[in-house]
Amino acid sequence: MDRPRALLLATALLGDLAFAGCRDAPASQVAPSPDVGSSASTTRPIELLTWWGPIGHSDPIGALLAVHGKRFPGDFVIGAKTLMSGRAKKTIRARMIAADPPDVIQSNAGYDIRQWVSVNGVDDRDSRLIPLDETMPEVSALWTAIPPKLLDFLTYQGKLYGVPATVHRVNAMFYNKSVLAAHGLQPPRTIADLKAAGRKLRAAGIPLFAVGAKEPWPLGYFVFEGLLIAREGPEFYRSYFSGAEEPDDPRIVKTLQEAIELLRYKNADWTKLTFVQASELVAQGRAAISVDGDWTAVFYAPDGLTDAHPIGEAAFPGSEKTFVFTSDMFSLPAGAKNVAGAKRLLSTIGSIEGQRVISRVKGSLSPRSDLNDAGTTAIQKQKAELLRRGDLTLAVSGIVPSQFHNDVEWALVDMLKQNNVEPAVQALRSRYHLLLGARAAK
């Protein structure tokens, strides 16, 4: 690319980032070429809005667009991205409501994407997303490649409104093997093991848990997707977050109390760190364990964790038989300016080549079961088997409205600051009615 053209591209990208409010990471692009497509398709950019920023040395969007550039060298993709998913989702929402959507948007399976499909709360007649299997013949291949149990979570009334790109386990735990071994500890397998490790490491001045709650969702993963399922099982988890229980059910209160007890063994600067900065503590041996989604694996090892790596991966102790997941999906909004270009980008995301690259750079499973047999570690094989035949359940963020989980997660921060469950209990009581409305809308 010549220098004037590069400068023009950089200016366009910076303008897009400023408009989108995403300043945390640089944009990615595929430069246009006159080789493919009509004149219009090679000059009009494809605008992609995503929170897939770099994690360590792994750049998911850069890797994806490199694949797309080989498939469609005439395309020009503007990718505004940020590691702060909450900020990206607010930007997407503002653009969608203003009827000025990007050409391709990211969302998560469940409530996050359904808010744009069932806008009227009843059906998809007023959907602001285009059903892809009606307009993209290649999407139909996903119906046979994705396990039926998983498809149930990814479709709405028998239609795919987004191309699923990942399946991430969110009840995951990463641990520094050397830190544990140096203090005579094995990787924890039970909650009792966690408490014992916390006491022993605290005596040595080392936090058991590295927590980064600058955005509070990691606390939600710890308390609900991890600890609650380990204590009370997936059936109660699903029942509670579908609005079928009392908001202050004793099982919830006891889980919150145990979370306070366990999280006494965390780093002192937990409110100031992002999840990546917390992971850095584990990588450096300044903390033993982080509880996070398995996308963190690529921070520790861009080419994938191996059994010989100094960082190990496991399920949150006690939740091993449950695959709590989230799936990143990419959709075509109604009103997109470059529909043809968006469809080409979505076809790359759903292709075998695209899915293979995404899985590697994201540390995820592919929604396509035909691509998940390449895992070489025990944990990769376990996750692939659970995806095919195990107990799948969505992360809280896929089950409940964003207002519910955002407010409750911030209340978890107050709970830990005050060393008292009451802020979290009060938030659950005051927001639980939102679950009843979400249940009625399904």
pLDDT surpassing 70 at residue 23: no
pLDDT given for residue 437 in this prediction: 64
List, for residues 219-260, the tens digit of each pLDDT value.
999 999 999 999 999 999 999 999 999 999 999 999 999 999
List the alpha helices (DSSP H) in 98-224.
111-117, 142-145, 148-154, 177-182, 191-203, 217-220
How confident is residue 140, by pLDDT bands cut at 50, 70 and 90?
confident
Cβ neighbours for 218, distance < 8 A, ≥ 6 positions apart? 211, 212, 275, 278, 291, 292
pLDDT given for residue 358 in this prediction: 95
Specify the higher pLDDT residue, 202 or 55: 202
pLDDT given for residue 374 in this prediction: 56
pLDDT given for residue 372 in this prediction: 78
pLDDT surpassing 90 at residue 422: yes
* Burial letters 344-358, b for 16+ CB under 10 A, else e: bbbbbbbbeebbebb
pLDDT given for residue 54 in this prediction: 84
Sheet holding 46-50, edge to edge: 28-30, 77-81, 46-50, 104-108, 328-331, 163-164
pLDDT (mean) for 288-301: 95
Give CA–CA dist 123/114, Å, rounded.
Answer: 10
Torsional class of 89: left (φ above 0), alpha (ψ -120 to 50), beta (otherwise): alpha
Give CA–CA dist 196/209, Å, rounded.
Answer: 13
Secondary structure (DSSP) of 55-110: BTTB-HHHHHHHHHHHH-TT--EEEEE-S-HHHHHHHHHHHHHTT---SEEEEETT
Give CA–CA dist 86/213, Å, rounded.
Answer: 13
- pTM, two decimals, is 0.87
Which of 398, 412, 240, 407 lies closest to 324 in space, CA to CA?
398
pLDDT (mean) for 306-326: 96
Specify the higher pLDDT residue, 90 or 314: 314
How confident is residue 85, by pLDDT bands cut at 50, 70 and 90?
confident
Give CA–CA dist 291/231, Å, rounded.
Answer: 16
pLDDT given for residue 404 in this prediction: 97
pLDDT given for residue 13 in this prediction: 36
List, for residues 166-225, the tens digit of each pLDDT value.
999 999 999 999 999 999 999 999 999 999 999 999 999 999 999 999 999 999 999 999
3-state helix, strand, coil in the chain (%, to 5): 50, 15, 35
Instruction: Report residue 412 as tokens.
Output: 């978890």
Residue 332, Cα to own-chain centre: how many angstroms? Answer: 19
Residue 29 forms beta bridges with which residues?
A: 78
Instruction: Report residue 370 as tokens.
Output: 């035909």
Instruction: Report residue 142 as tokens.
Output: 């996903």
How confident is residue 39, by pLDDT bands cut at 50, 70 and 90?
very low
Residue 70, Cα to own-chain centre: how many angstroms? Answer: 27
Write down all domains in the chain, each with its CATH number in brackets. 3-166+327-367 (3.40.190.10), 169-325+390-441 (3.40.190.10)
pLDDT surpassing 80 at residue 390: yes
State how far the alpha carbon of 48 is from the alpha carbons of 51, 82, 99, 103, 283, in Å.
Answer: 10, 12, 16, 6, 32
Instruction: Report residue 55 as tokens.
Output: 């994690």
pLDDT given for residue 55 in this prediction: 83
How confident is residue 81, by pLDDT bands cut at 50, 70 and 90?
low
Asked if 42 and 80 count as a contact pair (C-beta separation under 8 A), the reply is no
What are the start-end ranges of the E strands in 150-217?
Answer: 163-164, 168-169, 172-176
- The per-residue pLDDT of the chain, averaged, comes to 88
How many CA atoms does the CB half-sphere of 141 hold within 13 Å? 11
**pLDDT more than 90, % of the chain:** 73
List, for residues 105-139, the tens digit of each pLDDT value.
999 999 999 999 999 988 999 999 999 988 898 88
pLDDT given for residue 282 in this prediction: 98
φ, ψ for residue 130, nearest 5 deg: -85, 130
Number of residues that this document lists for the chain: 442
